[in-house]
């Protein structure tokens, strides 16, 4: 039962072949037996209460397609009942008095919350090793990172600990862990999903999205996640959509842009081989490959690591020990309390980004760094628009390599930053992007590690991306493969 897709589970629930309570208990047992450290908080009583409510709706015929389906939330979305920590000591015991909009929407649909998922502290990281609660292990090879910051979300789906998970993507944090763990994830267009109740990292970049086994499952989840929210000033007011509507559309005549900058010397040969094989499969489905250029790709790293830390330094200024969260136990005055609270409450990577952000926003450096980065960001977005005049979607690798070993890059933050080279520009432009499994590469001594194919679309073109992904998954089985001990 734990290997079935959301679509399959929905049929079983609606035909009374299994109850929401039975399904919740099944996944709770799997979660409790797991050694991946994917969850930060589980409350069986709350989960079973939601399951009982879902069973009642199913019995009354008042159910949606997602009623009774278990879901786990990245611990960056605030939730009533479950702790909301953002993977940080600063919020280690914080209980939110309200739910994030995304959580509200899934609750209204009748989904059953399994718990909160581990993540890099305040979503800052590419490996999930920055969490106060310890690193998450990759289910395919427990000596490897699962990717970050949504590593707990991707690992939980890959290990079949949950059929659905929420995640967030600031610079690649849905797509990269989905790639490393061999699952499907989509980052919607910026503004498509409400950020209300999502603990902020970089406000002009953060975007919520789903991770699941298949593109079809992601479409079902996005149907509930997407929508205008007046409580979020960055939410885009658009008519609701059915993201499953184009699932079975033909790819005949589809033009796929292949950026030459994504296939340079820094790309590992095993990753390139898997991605090239996927592109060949698309040609068999009737698509045409078009050579394109995204010339500002290399600039996305310095641009992102100016803009994101600048916004983080502002967003995280609220964590001062006065109103909520961690407070130092010993201090001499208010200023000393601020200093000691923040020194104790934040991890090293968060401190590093706050310092960088404060520096680039400071008097004398704002014009030289932050303002210039925003100008280049506009040029990066224009590169994509120029490319979309030649093609319908863009494809390439998600990351230059497969998942690396735990601890390999902990002493080299720049190496971690470079791993985001193929995902950052999409986020800077605010475009939608997906990762779908497309093969395996070499990694570690005894295990192969998944490779993801990145699919990028133009603004609000999520239904097309899901169609393109679904057609590939209809003729391949990479998305159905699972780690040996699941």
- Residue-wise pLDDT for 217-247, tens only, equals 999 999 999 999 999 999 999 988 999 999 9
User: 288-292 and 255-259: which strand pairing?
Assistant: parallel
The reported pLDDT for the residue numbered 159 is 98
Identify the CA nearest to 279 among candidates 386, 440, 394: 394
- Residue-wise pLDDT for 391-450, tens only, equals 999 999 999 999 999 999 988 888 889 899 999 999 999 999 999 999 999 876 667 899
The reported pLDDT for the residue numbered 338 is 96
Torsion sign across C-alpha atoms 472, 477, 478, 481: positive
Mean pLDDT of 266-278: 96
CA–CA separation, 390 and 292 (whole Å): 8
Look-up of token digits 């933050």: 413
The reported pLDDT for the residue numbered 444 is 61
Catalytic residue among 7, 74, 89, 296: 74
The reported pLDDT for the residue numbered 445 is 63
Q: Is 298 exposed, middle or buried (0-12, 13-18, 19+ CB in 10 A)?
A: middle
Mean pLDDT of 151-179: 98
- Residue-wise pLDDT for 181-196, tens only, equals 999 999 999 999 999 9
Confidence bin at 17 (pLDDT 50/70/90)? very high
- Dmax (CA) for the chain in angstroms is 70
Catalytic residue among 34, 173, 235, 435: 173
Catalytic residue among 34, 88, 131, 149: 149
CB atoms within 10 A of CB 430: 21
Q: Where are the domains of the chain?
A: 1-486
Q: Is the pLDDT of residue 485 over 90?
A: no
What b/e sequence results for 227-238 when a residue is b if at least 16 CB atoms lie within 10 Å of its CB, and e otherwise? Answer: bebeebeebbee
Mean pLDDT of 65-85: 98
- Residue-wise pLDDT for 332-357, tens only, equals 999 999 999 999 999 999 999 999 99
Percent of the chain whose predicted confidence (pLDDT) is above 90: 94
The reported pLDDT for the residue numbered 446 is 61
Record the tokens describing residue 47, joined without a space.
């989960």
Mean pLDDT of 150-169: 98
Rg of the chain in Å (alpha carbons): 21
Task: Return the ∠ at Cα 325 (arms to 36 and 410), rounded to 5°.
Answer: 40
Domain 1-486 CATH superfamily: Amidase signature (AS) domain (3.90.1300.10)
| Count helices and strands in the chain by DSSP H and E runs | 15, 11
What is the pLDDT of the chain when averaged over all its residues? 96
Q: Is the pLDDT of residue 313 over 70?
A: yes
In the residue annotation, 149 being an active-site residue is answered as: yes
């Amino acid at each position: 039962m734990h290997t079935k897709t959301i679509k399959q589970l929905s049929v079983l629930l609606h035909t009374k072949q299994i109850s929401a309570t039975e399904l919740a208990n099944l996944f709770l047992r799997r979660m409790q037996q797991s050694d991946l450290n994917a969850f930060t908080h589980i409350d069986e009583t709350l989960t079973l209460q939601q399951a009982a409510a879902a069973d009642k709706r199913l019995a009354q015929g008042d159910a949606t397609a997602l009623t009774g389906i278990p879901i786990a939330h990245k611990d960056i979305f605030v939730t009533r009942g479950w702790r909301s920590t953002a993977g940080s000591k600063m919020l280690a015991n914080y209980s939110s008095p309200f739910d994030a909009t995304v959580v509200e929407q899934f609750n209204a649909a009748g989904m059953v919350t399994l718990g909160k998922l581990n993540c890099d502290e305040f979503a800052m990281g590419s490996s999930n090793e920055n969490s106060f609660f310890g690193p998450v292990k990759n289910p395919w090879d427990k000596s490897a990172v699962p990717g970050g910051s949504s590593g707990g979300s991707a690992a939980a789906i890959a290990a079949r600990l949950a059929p659905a998970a929420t995640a967030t993507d600031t610079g690649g944090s849905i797509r990269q862990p989905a790639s490393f763990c061999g699952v499907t994830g989509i980052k919607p267009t910026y503004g498509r999903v409400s950020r209300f109740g999502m603990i902020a990292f970089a406000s002009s970049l953060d975007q919520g999205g789903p991770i699941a086994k298949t593109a079809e499952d992601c479409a079902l989840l996005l149907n509930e996640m997407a929508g205008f929210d007046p409580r979020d000033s960055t939410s885009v007011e658009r008519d609701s959509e059915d993201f499953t509507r184009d699932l079975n559309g033909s790819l005949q005549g589809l033009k796929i842009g292949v950026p030459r900058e994504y296939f340079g010397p820094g790309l590992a040969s095993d990753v390139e081989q898997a991605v090239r094989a996927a592109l060949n499969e698309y040609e068999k489905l009737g698509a045409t490959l078009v050579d394109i250029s995204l010339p500002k790709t290399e600039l996305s790293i310095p641009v992102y690591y100016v803009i994101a830390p600048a916004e983080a330094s502002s967003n995280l200024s609220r964590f001062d020990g006065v109103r909520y969260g961690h407070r130092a136990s010993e201090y001499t005055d208010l200023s000393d309390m601020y200093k000691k609270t923040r020194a104790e409450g934040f991890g090293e990577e968060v401190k590093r980004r706050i310092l960088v952000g404060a520096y680039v926003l400071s008097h004398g450096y704002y014009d030289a760094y932050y303002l210039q980065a925003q100008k280049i960001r506009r040029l990066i977005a224009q590169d994509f628009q120029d490319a979309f005049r030649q093609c319908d979607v863009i494809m390439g690798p998600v990351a230059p390599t497969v998942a690396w070993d735990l601890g390999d890059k902990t002493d080299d933050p720049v190496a971690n930053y470079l791993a985001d080279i193929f995902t950052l520009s999409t986020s800077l432009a605010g475009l939608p992007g997906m990762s779908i499994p497309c093969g395996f590469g070499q990694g570690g001594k005894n295990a192969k590690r998944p490779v993801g194919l990145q699919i990028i679309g133009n603004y609000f073109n999520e239904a097309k991306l899901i169609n393109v992904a679904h057609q590939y998954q209809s003729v391949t089985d990479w998305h159905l493969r699972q780690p040996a001990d699941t």
